[in-house]
Amino acid sequence: MDKITWGPVDGKGRGVFALADIPMHDILETSPVNVISEADAETAALDHYNMAWRDGESCIGFGYLMLYNHSESPNCHLRRDFEAATISVIAKRDIKAGEELTYTYACSLWFKQAA
């Protein structure tokens, strides 16, 4: 059974949600990434759709990775695997079915944060 799905979020566009209760430390997904240079990440087409990778590099995530919303009190965190070129989303605490899944973007926000 799938653990997560995506759908609309009032005031935020789209988001990712738990389909069932998820225990703390559970891996929700492991997404492959496409590593790009910081210069390429600053192009208009990729603006705000890239994530930090290593010094001088950014990445674009696949799967649901780019649909998670930001939170100052997130229920998930990210783990980067540089050798495999993947990012895993991991539950920081027990999560209830139906809850929106979030992580902190850990950068200066380019939008007004929704409640």
Cα distance between the two ends of the chain? 31
pLDDT of residue 76: 96
Q: Where are the domains of the chain?
A: 4-103
Determine the pLDDT at residue 32. 96
Q: What are the phi and psi torsion angles at 78 (to 5°)?
A: -110, 145
Question: What is 4-103's CATH number?
Answer: 2.170.270.10
pTM: 0.84
Identify the pLDDT of residue 113: 57
Find the length of the chain: 115
Give me the phi and psi of 40, to 5 degrees please: -65, -35
Distance CA 20, CA 26 (A): 12
Segment holding 34, helix H or strand E: strand 27-37
